């Protein structure tokens, strides 16, 4: 997968060299480049923002540098890249969207700052490539860089070969509309607290049932919205009894 990220703080993306995302970069699974938006400015101050039309507080990112950046990063290749624009006004980022993005050959991220990017940049790009405004959640950050770190971490772990044990993807939270059951490791007793007996029993059927019950209970308690959205066809009789 190719990834291009445009930001006025390219150094904010340095953590993308670490851990498993860094490894995916190093081994070529991810071909990633971070670009400084100011390299597409032409004035002595390398200006990227101006006051908002209609008045109001804050500054808005000017369209010209963004237009040039997108012309350079999406010069007409087929299929075009998918443009992701982090925004608190975007669609919520979910595991389902992470899977969708992991199947794309080329992603371009446009990191907004200030009050965001002039809307015409997105409207103009939309005539040439798919554009998705994505929100991390119902709160407001200073800029899109943290959102890009989050989105790319979620997407990279779905790419083939990135996780040592791809089985983890099938079991984890949000894989099947449920939260994962609690996990334990050695020692069996720690500060007087025991690992549940069933997990030490070696009885795989009982363990699977316990994990399923715990996942259902936890989801019901913490995320009743997820439980309500479960497809009834995905439940078995023992789930309903639990």
Nearer to ligand SAM, 79 or 92 (CB): 92
Which stretch, 13-21, 108-116, 163-171, 188-196, contacts ligand SAM (CB under 6 A)? 108-116
Applying CB under 6 A, does 44 fall inside the site for ligand SAM? no
List the one residue from 113, 157, 211, 212 that touches ligand SAM (CB under 6 A): 113
Burial of residue 69 (CB within 10 Å: 0-12, 13-18, 19+) is: buried
Q: Which stretch binds ligand SAM (CB under 6 A): 6-14, 36-44, 62-70, 83-91?
A: 83-91
Among 7, 83, 116, 181, indicate the residue that binds ligand SAM (CB under 6 A).
Answer: 116
Is the distance from CB of 218 to CB of 179 less than 8 angstroms?
yes
> Cα angle at 104 between 136 and 66, to 5 degrees?
65
Smaller CB separation from ligand SAM, 13 or 162: 13
44-49 own/partner pairs: CB under 8 Å, 24+ apart: 48/8, 49/113, 49/114
Give dist(CA 104, CA 74) in Å, integer: 14
Q: What distance in Å separates the CA atoms of residue 18 and residue 98, rounded to the nearest whole number?
A: 20
Q: Is 136 annotated as a binding residue?
A: yes
| 139 contributes a contact to ligand SAM by CB under 6 A | yes
Residue spans of beta strands (DSSP E) within 162-241: 189-190, 193-194
**Choice from 68, 71, 100, 115 touching ligand SAM (CB under 6 A):** 115
Nearer to ligand SAM, 121 or 215 (CB): 121
Q: Give the binding range for ligand SAM (CB under 6 A) out of 16-24, 139-147, 158-166, 200-208.
A: 139-147
Stretch that binds ligand SAM, among 131-139, 190-198, 220-228, 231-239 (CB under 6 A): 131-139
Nearer to ligand SAM by Cβ, of 118 and 214: the residue is 118
- For ligand SAM, the binding residue among 29, 41, 95, 135 (CB under 6 A) is 135
> How far apart, in whole angstroms, are the C-alpha atoms of residue 158 and residue 100?
10
Does the annotation place 28 within a ligand binding site? Answer: no
Number of residues that bind ligand SAM (CB under 6 A): 19
Can you give the binding site for ligand SAM, defined by CB under 6 A?
Answer: 86-89, 111-113, 115-116, 135-137, 139-144, 147
Q: What residue numbers does the annotated binding site for S-adenosyl-L-methionine cover?
A: 112, 136-141
């Amino acid at each position: 997968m190719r990834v291009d990220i445009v930001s006025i703080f390219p150094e904010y993306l340095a953590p993308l060299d670490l851990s498993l995302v860094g490894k995916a970069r190093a081994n070529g699974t991810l071909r990633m480049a971070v670009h400084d938006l100011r390299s597409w400015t032409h004035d002595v101050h390398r200006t990227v923002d101006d006051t908002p039309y209609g008045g109001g507080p804050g500054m808005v990112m000017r369209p010209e540098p963004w237009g040039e950046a997108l012309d350079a990063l999406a010069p007409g290749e087929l299929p075009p890249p998918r443009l992701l624009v982090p925004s608190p006004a975007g669609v919520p980022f979910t595991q389902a969207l992470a899977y969708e993005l992991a199947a794309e050959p080329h992603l371009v991220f446009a990191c907004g700052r200030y009050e965001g990017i002039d809307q015409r940049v997105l409207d103009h790009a939309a005539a040439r490539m798919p554009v998705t405004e994505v929100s991390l959640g119902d709160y407001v950050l200073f800029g899109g860089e943290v959102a890009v770190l989050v989105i790319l971490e979620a997407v990279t772990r779905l790419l083939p070969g990135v996780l040592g044990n791809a089985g983890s993807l099938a079991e984890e939270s949000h894989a099947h509309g449920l939260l994962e059951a609690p996990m334990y490791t050695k020692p069996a007793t720690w500060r007087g607290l025991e690992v549940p007996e069933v997990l030490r029993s070696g009885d795989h059927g009982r363990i699977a049932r316990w994990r399923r019950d715990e996942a259902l209970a936890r989801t019901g308690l913490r995320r009743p919205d997820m439980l309500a959205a479960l497809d009834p066809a995905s439940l078995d009789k023992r789930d309903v009894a639990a």
